[in-house]
Structures are given as structure tokens and as C-alpha cells.
């Protein structure tokens, strides 16, 4: 990272009174490299922002259901979207898993104690859901160092590629405490050098003070200031990533804050990582503009577009999920209150399941559950995927294909792909 890539405001040497600027560290191999101690997020509304895009994003967010009044269907949709988010956000950082793996019952896939990329992505979903009610209850005050460390620990503790201490901030003298972002193998050619470890904690606290500023949020949501929810999502994210408080996993933690910010505003969350993954280059460029130039317009524009496109994606996906029971019922007649008919509702909650799962959900015998599963296989509603030991696994492939599809791709094509896999593979 070169000094001339920074705005003049950031090129000034760090001064404790001012609280930000560039600095060097006395660590072997890094003596000639400048690091950025970032300023706190702005309390004055920035100029030259994309007002039209902000208005569209604001209207989109205002249409979302209240988190506190989510219907049972809303909660089911959110359950699936959380898992899709976990897969997509993790994939951006090179941690690979699939919807199949995240939705496969733990008892037939792998032990909860095992370290794997699949378990890491499951941890991501758990990290989000664990904080939802707390965010709704505490509002912006939920944003604390403790919260960030809990989320980080849940996400990376089972990641086989993570070698640090889960949930621990970067500190002087600790392994991997010095972080550089992007560039080549040469340290001098990095894209951005976040705060040195000795400045992480105070710099992060300034971001947390901003995120937890209830007055800022309330005035923005009331239209009194320009700090609308979409603007807060963008600016808060840029500054969190500029601090980079953990040795790894910062992108995943930073994106996990978005749904929590939406819940604080009493909105059913939208999940933006699918759009981010699809537009990864633009995302990185927008972050650099905010972090190096303190130019917030590109990242706000990007997040506003992510909000609009993610809502459109969510509506299409939701409609397709809602259509599945009727789609299934068109393939055969079901006796009223039969186990196979009741199993259709179970499939919407557990698209990958075992006979034991169905027994437990329907509170019935193994014989009845087995008969129901066999009928669903015959009617091309589920496919037997095979055995894991003595356990047979079955999947509603249409729902899996729908949730697995690329962001923005056709939902009907995904459903048909899923159906064809049942027909061809049985």
C-alpha cells in the first residue's frame, strides 16, 4: 500500500490527540510499511452521496415485515435464508460448503465436535440466530466487543483453516496479529494495511460507539438525518473492515452485522452476501474508496443496490418455496391426514431427512414413517440419496436446488433441475 493512495486526511502521521493517521511498527520485516489507524465513522452526514439509490433502498427496507411480528412462514423463510447466507458469505472468503451440508441432520453427517468447513458454515448460521432476539430486545446497544467476539468464535472455532484463537482480538506480540489485505506475496504491495495490533481495541471501540449510537439510528430511521439504515449498513461495514480486529474471519463477522442492524430497526433481515459474492470486485473497490479516500458514495451505492437486488431475490425465492406443496400435490392424490400428506409440511422444514426425523416430526411409528417416505419416493417428491451406515437419507431436491442456485438465476429453472435429478437418479 502506497501513501499516495490515501486521501490527504489519512496521509498525516498518527497523532494521539487526533486519533488517526498512518504509522509504522517496530517489527522485523515491517519497518518500512505504513499502516492506517482509521478515523471513527462520521457523525456529520457525508456529501455527494447517491440520493436516488438511497431512496430506493429506504423504500425497500420499509417494506420488509416487522421482525417482532414475523409469521410462521416468515420464520421458515428466514431459517433457509440464514443458511444460504452462511454458505455465500463463507464462500467469499474461501470457506466452502453447500446448502446440502448445512441442512443435513448433524447426527447423520458428522459429529458436532468435528472441525470442517461444513461445521464452520453451520457455526456461521448458529452465530447469527443466536443473536437475533438479543438484537431485537437491546436494539443498537447490542453492538459490543463481547458480541463481536462471540460471533467470531462461533464462526471460526470449527474452521480447519483458522489457526488463531477464536473470539480473540489482534493484540501486540500474539501470532498473526499483524494483518495486510490483498496484493502479492511482497508485503510492500498489499492493497490495504489495517490498524496495527496496539491500535485495534481503541479503533474498534470507536466503530462500536457509532454502531450503538441509538440517537443516530433513530434520527436516521425517522428521516431527520441522512443516516438511514442503508447508509449505516455501508459506513459501519467499511469502518469495521478498516480496523480488521481479528487475524482472520473479519469479512464474515462484518457481513454478519448487517442482519443484526436490520433487526435493531425492527425489520425482517435481508441477506446481502449473495449479491456481494456476485459483485465481489465492485465490493472490494467500494470498500477501498471508503477506507483509503474516505469517499463513502461507492460503498453506499453498492449496499443500496445490494438491498434492492436482495429483496427481489428473496421475493422470488419465497414465492417458489410457497409453491412447492401444491407442486408436490399435483403429482398424486393424498389421503386426507395421511402421513405422506403431513410429511410435505415436514419437507418444507427439513428438506434433507431420515426416517427417524420424520417419525419424530409426525410423532408416529417407524413403520408409518417408512411407508410415508416410500410413497414420497414413488411420487417423485423426494429422492433416496443413499446410506450413511445404516441410515438412509432422503432429499426434496427441488427445494435444495432452489436454495443452491446462483444469486439472481431463474427459480423455475432451479426447481426443474431439482425435479429432473429425482426423475433421473431416483
Grid cell 511482497 is found at: 186
Q: Extract the runs of DSSP E, i.e. beta strands, from 211-368.
A: 352-353
Provide the pLDDT confidence category of residue 105 given band limits of 50, 70 and 90: confident
pTM as predicted: 0.95
- Residue 21's H or E segment, with its range, is strand 21-23
What is residue 385's DSSP assignment? Answer: E
Per-residue b or e along 61-82, where b marks 16 or more CB atoms closer than 10 Å to that residue's CB: beebeebeeeeeebebbbebbb
> Which residues are 386's β-sheet partners?
393
Tens digit of each residue's pLDDT (9 = 90 or more) over 40-62: 999 999 999 999 999 999 999 99
Domain boundaries, the chain: 3-314, 331-425
Tens digit of each residue's pLDDT (9 = 90 or more) over 5-33: 999 999 999 999 999 999 999 998 999 99
As a whole number of angstroms, the distance between CA 211 and CA 40 comes to: 11
Tens digit of each residue's pLDDT (9 = 90 or more) over 248-278: 999 999 999 999 999 999 999 999 999 999 9
> Which residues are 358's β-sheet partners?
none
As a whole number of angstroms, the distance between CA 406 and CA 375 comes to: 31
Q: Which fold has domain 331-425?
A: Arc Repressor Mutant, subunit A (1.10.10)
For 28, counting Cβ atoms within 10 Å of its Cβ (0-12 exposed, 13-18 middle, 19+ buried), the class is exposed
Helix-helix angle 411-425:397-404, to 10 degrees: 140
Question: How would DSSP label each residue in 267-335?
Answer: -PPP--HHHHHHTHHHHHHHHHHHHHH---HHHHHHHHHHHHHHHHHHHHHHHHHHHHHHHHHTTS---
Provide the pLDDT confidence category of residue 183 given band limits of 50, 70 and 90: confident
As a whole number of angstroms, the distance between CA 108 and CA 355 comes to: 12
Please, what is the end-to-end C-alpha distance for the chain in angstroms? Answer: 55
CATH of 3-314, one of 3.40.50.1100, 1.10.3660.10, 2.40.50.140, 1.10.3290.10: 1.10.3290.10
As a whole number of angstroms, the distance between CA 297 and CA 347 comes to: 44
Amino acid at each position: 500500500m502506497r501513501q499516495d493512495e490515501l486521501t490527504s486526511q489519512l496521509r498525516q502521521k498518527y497523532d494521539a490527540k487526533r486519533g488517526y493517521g498512518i504509522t509504522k511498527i517496530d517489527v522485523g520485516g515491517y519497518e518500512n510499511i505504513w499502516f492506517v489507524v482509521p478515523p471513527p465513522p462520521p457523525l456529520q452526514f457525508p456529501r455527494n452521496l447517491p440520493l436516488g439509490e438511497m431512496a430506493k433502498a429506504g423504500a425497500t427496507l420499509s417494506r420488509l415485515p416487522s421482525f417482532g411480528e414475523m409469521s410462521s412462514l416468515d420464520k421458515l423463510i428466514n431459517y433457509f435464508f440464514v443458511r444460504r447466507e452462511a454458505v455465500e458469505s463463507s464462500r467469499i472468503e474461501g470457506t466452502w460448503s453447500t446448502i446440502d451440508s448445512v441442512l443435513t441432520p448433524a447426527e447423520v453427517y458428522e459429529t458436532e465436535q468435528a472441525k470442517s468447513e461444513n461445521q464452520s458454515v453451520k457455526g456461521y448460521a448458529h452465530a447469527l440466530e443466536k443473536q437475533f432476539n438479543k438484537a431485537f430486545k437491546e436494539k443498537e446497544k447490542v453492538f459490543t466487543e463481547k458480541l463481536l467476539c462471540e460471533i467470531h468464535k462461533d464462526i471460526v472455532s470449527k474452521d480447519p483453516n483458522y489457526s488463531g484463537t477464536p473470539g480473540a482480538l489482534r493484540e501486540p506480540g500474539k501470532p498473526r496479529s499483524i494483518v495486510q489485505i490483498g496484493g502479492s506475496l511482497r508485503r510492500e504491495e498489499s492493497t490495504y494495511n489495517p490498524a496495527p495490533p496496539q491500535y485495534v481495541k481503541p479503533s474498534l471501540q470507536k466503530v462500536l460507539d457509532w454502531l450503538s449510537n441509538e440517537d443516530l439510528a433513530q434520527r436516521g430511521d425517522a428521516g431527520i438525518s441522512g443516516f438511514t439504515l442503508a447508509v449505516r449498513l455501508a459506513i459501519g461495514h467499511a469502518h469495521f473492515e478498516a480496523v480488521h480486529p481479528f487475524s482472520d474471519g473479519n469479512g464474515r463477522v462484518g457481513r454478519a452485522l448487517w442482519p443484526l442492524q436490520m433487526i435493531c430497526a425492527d425489520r425482517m433481515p435481508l441477506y446481502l452476501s449473495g449479491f456481494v459474492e456476485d459483485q465481489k470486485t465492485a465490493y472490494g473497490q467500494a470498500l477501498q474508496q471508503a477506507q483509503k479516500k474516505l469517499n463513502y458514495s461507492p460503498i453506499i451505492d453498492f449496499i443500496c443496490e445490494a438491498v434492492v437486488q436482495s429483496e427481489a431475490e428473496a421475493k422470488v425465492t419465497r414465492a417458489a418455496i410457497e409453491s412447492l406443496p401444491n407442486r408436490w400435490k399435483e403429482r398424486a392424490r393424498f389421503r386426507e391426514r395421511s402421513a405422506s400428506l403431513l410429511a410435505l409440511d415436514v419437507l418444507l422444514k427439513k428438506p434433507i431427512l431420515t426416517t427417524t426425523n420424520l417419525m419424530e416430526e409426525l410423532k408416529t411409528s417407524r413403520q408409518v414413517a417408512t411407508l410415508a417416505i416410500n410413497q414420497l419416493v414413488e411420487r417423485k417428491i423426494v429422492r433416496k440419496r443413499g446410506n450413511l451406515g445404516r441410515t438412509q437419507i432422503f432429499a426434496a431436491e427441488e427445494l435444495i436446488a432452489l436454495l443452491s442456485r446462483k444469486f439472481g438465476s431463474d427459480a423455475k429453472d432451479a426447481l426443474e433441475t431439482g425435479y429432473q435429478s429425482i426423475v433421473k437418479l431416483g
